[in-house]
């Protein structure tokens, strides 16, 4: 029988299935059910810098609370962090698998001290999300990428647990950034974070939310960059995120070079029971191919292990040349 154990960001996982940061992981009770269903690791619901700062700034408006502005700002920050610390501690009590904290931030400010307290609470690793669109007309090329490096560097100097960087797909050259993240102490990279999806209602003439969930079609982008990145920056671990909706998707991601996958939408649309279905399939597939461990086929089809690296193809005219 094959073993599904894998290593991601220096953490030992019983299988490569990680639950992404979401409402699925916002309580110890939910996380215990996910552990009992068989997942390999859990990423806790994110602590959002933007949400904390907006609330703190509103309460700290000196025009509204002239005598207690600074006190209220600090209270909000510490209250939100205290709630998050409690989530970590309570989850660790009931989940003997890796528990990864998640910070969603956009500036290099509060997170050094927050990261220290998160580590002290017992988190096995910290996943950093720096998800933002760059739309300023005066934007300085490369400043967004440099922000990733600065935040990572400062947190790396503060904590000794693994730091995982979850990237958005709006980067000109993810490989160059990933290489710098490795040089500055990242233990792993997740490709990719999912943006809010907007839409427009043409009858009501207003903006509306688009599709909340990913689809199987999103997997191609994830496979492309996992296959390229895992070949170019071999020292890092990678997790594939986006479009993982079947056990076949997990096998594809590992063949492309991922050590693990982060799944969210498929859990929302189904139930934690899919973990057993997925692991059974992977076991049978590995047995049919004579594979005993995940490491045996990880990266087998990434950019460095194929004769023609189709991951780097940007045009596809030859595939349609015979069509009328």
Confidence band of 111 (pLDDT split at 50, 70, 90): low
Largest CA distance in the chain: 75
So where are the chain's domains? 6-320
Per-residue pLDDT reduced to its tens digit, 67-99? 544 544 555 567 678 999 999 999 999 999 999
Confidence band of 58 (pLDDT split at 50, 70, 90): very low
Long-range contacts: 280-286, Cβ < 8 Å, 24+? 280/247, 281/247, 281/248, 282/2, 282/4, 282/15, 282/247, 282/250, 282/251, 283/1, 283/2, 283/4, 285/247, 285/251, 286/2
Task: Provide φ and ψ at 253, rounded to 5°.
Answer: -65, -40
Q: What are the E-state strand segments in 98-158?
A: 99-104, 125-129
pTM reported for the whole predicted model: 0.90
Report strand pairing: 206-209 vs 237-241.
unpaired
The pLDDT value recorded for residue 76 is 59
Coil vs helix vs strand at 100 = strand
Pick the CATH number of 6-320 from 3.20.20.70, 2.40.100.10, 3.60.21.70, 3.40.50.300: 3.20.20.70
Residue 50 pLDDT exceeds 50 = yes
Query: C-alpha distances in angstroms, 175 versus 160, 164, 170, 263?
Result: 25, 15, 12, 23
The pLDDT value recorded for residue 197 is 84
Residue 320 pLDDT exceeds 60 = no
């Amino acid at each position: 029988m094959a073993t599904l154990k894998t290593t991601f960001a220096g953490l030992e996982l019983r299988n490569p299935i990680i639950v992404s940061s979401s409402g699925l992981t916002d309580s110890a009770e939910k996380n215990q059910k996910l552990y009992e269903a068989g997942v390999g690791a859990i990423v806790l619901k994110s602590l959002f810098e933007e949400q904390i700062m907006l609330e703190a700034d509103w309460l700290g408006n000196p025009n509204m609370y002239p005598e207690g502005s600074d006190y209220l700002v600090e209270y909000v920050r510490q209250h939100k962090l205290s709630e998050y610390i409690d989530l970590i501690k309570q989850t660790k009590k009931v989940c003997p698998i890796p528990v990864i904290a998640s910070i969603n931030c956009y500036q290099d400010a509060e997170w050094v001290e927050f990261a220290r307290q998160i580590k002290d609470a017992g988190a096995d690793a910290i996943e950093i999300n720096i998800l933002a669109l760059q739309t300023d007309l005066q934007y300085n090329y490369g400043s967004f990428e440099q922000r990733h490096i600065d935040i990572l560097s400062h947190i790396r100097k503060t904590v000794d647990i693994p730091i995982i960087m979850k990237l958005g797909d709006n980067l000109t050259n993810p490989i160059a950034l990933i290489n710098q993240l490795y040089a500055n102490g990242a233990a792993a990279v997740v490709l990719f974070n999912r943006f809010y999806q907007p839409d427009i209602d043409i009858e009501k003439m207003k903006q509306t939310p688009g599709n909340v969930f990913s689809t199987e079609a999103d997997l191609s982008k994830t496979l492309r960059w996992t296959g390229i990145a895992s070949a170019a920056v071999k020292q890092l671990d990678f997790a594939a995120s986006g479009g993982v909706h079947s056990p076949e998707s997990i096998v594809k991601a590992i063949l492309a070079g991922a050590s693990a996958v982060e799944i969210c939408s498929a859990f929302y649309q189904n139930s934690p029971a899919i973990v057993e279905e997925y692991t059974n399939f992977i076991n049978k597939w590995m047995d049919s191919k004579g594979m005993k461990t995940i490491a045996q086929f990880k990266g087998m089809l990434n950019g460095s292990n194929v004769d023609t690296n189709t991951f780097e193809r940007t045009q596809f005219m030859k595939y349609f040349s015979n069509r009328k």
